[in-house]
Amino acid sequence: MTQAKHYPKHLDLAPVMRVEGTVRLPGSKSISNRTLLLAALSSGASTIHGLLASDDTMVMLGALTSLGIKWEQQDDHTHIIHGGAGLLPVHAADLFMGNAGTAIRPLTAALAVIGGDYTLHGVSRMHERPIGDLVDALNAIGAQIEYTGEVGFPPLRIRRGHIHAETLSVRGNVSSQFLTAVLMAAPLMAKEHAVKIDVVGDLISKPYIEITLNLMRRFGVTVEQNGWQSFTVQPGQHYTSPGSIHVEGDASSASYFLAAGAIAGGPVRVLGVGRDSIQGDVRFAEALEQMGATITRGDDWIEASSNGVLRAIDADFNHIPDAAMTIAVAALYADGTSTLRNIASWRVKETDRLAAMAIELRKLGATVEEGADYIRITPPEQLNPATIDTYDDHRMAMCFSLASLDGAARRGNAIRINDPKCVAKTFPDYFETFAGIAVNELF
């Protein structure tokens, strides 16, 4: 899909006095992988424009190839997927899922419903990320999914079960991807009877469910919604290609550039997301506004500028957990102590992000209190130069690039980013793009 890119073992970022410019965002990871699977399950061919070119989408495309789905690439970001009309040509396959949660969770549900003999496995961190709530929900309605390692975690073995779903329940308080997975598989179950999905507990990351529902509608399936407590798919609905579909720019990736504009001058404009975005992470810009930044919005762009020293923030970030990581680093430039609440889901992401964020922020001189589901950050008088470990987590690498910026409150410092290749998961050209908004020389 993309040529292998060379990354150094570490990347040194010099202090950046000011940022300004315009950034064209890569496609959304969440939208890209959902769209790929829905296109594969649809009747007809779907042309996907703006598909993210990254490790996670390559994982999904590789899995679809192994499952017999035909596709071709027209250019770097345009792909044609030939759907299987709810079936998969290959009934036995060994699937490597890397560390792509947006691939393994929905595929697990779809494969369990369609039936066959499949194994799903990934990198070591994937085998530490929970999937038990999804497996429990599917096995309870007749799926046959086994753990081949530790119970509750991949690797998985999926055999042909006997699905008898009219009602199923799935927990919503660990990862919204479990509900996304059963929602996307529900039309495959709802052949003669409606399928009702009950959510057990509080549903986190609701905006990601809105992305799922929006894309299902684009592919011809309507879900009836009873608040966030239950969802019903009526029988007789089938995924059908919309012909062509455009992937929005990644709103989580937008956060780094908007935060840069809020910290170090600006204006910085991101293209590809705006007022009309279906991604909840565009609400990141509202958090920057609360911190005092100047934000302007268009239909498909958002712009951020500094308006002096950022204000400390105390807010619930359950709705935008990925983008909230950027706020944690922006808090280094605030006028007091910031508290990010209701972010327990950080612990089951690409790494334990609560623990990792606390460790790395302390290297920069911050005083950090790490709780079970919150982090409290008091910035230092002056940021320390630091070597940042990234934990094979793309968002850790991208977030901490911001610590090289000079803000109104304090000066940035020389930052070394270890293992910068982790950004290939979602944004292979991140550091070049970040350098492009620096008014002084970055490297």
Question: What is the rounded CA–CA span in Å between residue 250 and residue 346?
Answer: 19
Chain-centroid distance, C-alpha 211? 11
Distance set, CA 306 to CA 262, 309, 440 (Å): 4, 8, 17
Q: Which residues of 300-331 are buried (b: 16+ CB within 10 A; e: fewer)?
A: bbbbbbbbebbebbebebbbbbbbbbbbbbbb
286 CB neighbour count, 10 Å cutoff: 12
Contact (Cβ atoms closer than 8 angstroms) between residue 65 and residue 107:
no
H runs (alpha helix) in 321-393: 321-330, 353-363
Contact (Cβ atoms closer than 8 angstroms) between residue 183 and residue 108:
no
Specify the 3-state DSSP secondary structure of 297: strand
The CB-side HSE value for 236 (13 A sphere, CA atoms) comes to 0
352 is catalytic: no
Question: Among residues 250, 322, 389, 419, which one is catalytic?
Answer: 322
Closest CA to 231 of 318, 165, 298: 165
Chain-centroid distance, C-alpha 139? 26
Phi (first) and psi of residue 355, to 5 degrees = -65, -45
Strand 70-75 versus strand 78-82 pairing type: antiparallel
Catalytic residues: 322
